[in-house]
Amino acid sequence: MFLIQDTLVSLDVLEKEFCCDLAACCGKCCVEGDAGAPITDDELKEIEQILPLLKPLMTRKARKVVDEKGLSYRDPSGEQVLSIVDGAECVFMQRDSNKRCLCLLEQAYEQHKTAWKKPISCALYPIRLAQVGNRIGVEYHRWDICYPARVLGKQQHVPLYRFLREPLIQRFGQAWYDELELTANEWKKQCKRIS
């Protein structure tokens, strides 16, 4: 792991190549898994503010879940997560004509209907944040459904940290990202000298 400011960044974040391939995976990360996407209290407030805009676009089942159980719940580890439908799909997931999963939150942002895009945990995926002692751990989460993204990342030579540049800057700031990129470049140079 590398110490970047007050975070511990796993080597995988620097070395793994990754580039989402929505045409191949169809956005399964919005459907699969055993819990909803982690969200903060501030993010929940943002969603509550734009819910009247989104609710008519949600599926009938998703509206029912939100009405009966709320927008979020605590998962078994105690983390606050977005509510899900039928133990799987995010309440804000919608399928397009090609059966790809799309995010209603992100669509509203891209259509300039809201100023807020989506939870940072979604934007950062496949990076997950975890508490490591008194620091935040920045870790790569390897999931089988992301195999197409690993293939495309290798084909295009896109390191994970570069693919997630915008959300990493959003979460940690430009200075943090600049230090991460400098560390990655130095690490690559060192690896070349050794090999």
Question: Which tokens sit at 182?
Answer: 């400098």
Distance of CA 116 to the CA centre of its chain: 15
User: Are the C-beta atoms of residues 57 and 27 closer than 8 Å to each other?
Assistant: no
DSSP 100: -
Cα–Cα distances in Å, from 168 out to 64, 85, 123, 127? 34, 29, 9, 9
Q: Give the pLDDT of residue 98.
A: 82
Q: Give the pLDDT of residue 45.
A: 94
Please report, as a single letter, which amino acid is at residue 132: V
pTM: 0.87
Q: Give the pLDDT of residue 131.
A: 87
Helix, strand or coil for residue 169? helix
Question: Which tokens sit at 180?
Answer: 């991460």
Phi, psi of 137 (to 5 degrees): -90, 130
Q: How far apart are CA 190 and CA 2, in angstroms?
A: 14
Cα–Cα distances in Å, from 119 out to 11, 81, 92, 109? 24, 10, 11, 12
Q: Give the pLDDT of residue 195.
A: 62
**Cα dihedral across residues 148, 152, 153, 158: positive or negative:** negative
The residue among 7, 34, 45, 30 whose CA lies nearest residue 125 is: 30
Helix, strand or coil for residue 91? coil
Q: Give the pLDDT of residue 51.
A: 94
Helices (H), 111-173: 120-124, 147-156, 160-163, 165-172
Give the pLDDT of the chain (195 residues) as one tens digit per residue: 899 999 999 999 999 999 998 888 878 787 777 788 899 999 999 999 999 999 999 999 999 999 999 999 998 888 899 999 988 889 999 888 888 888 999 999 999 999 889 999 999 999 999 888 899 999 999 888 889 899 999 999 999 999 999 999 999 999 999 999 999 989 888 877 776
Question: Which tokens sit at 61?
Answer: 């089942």
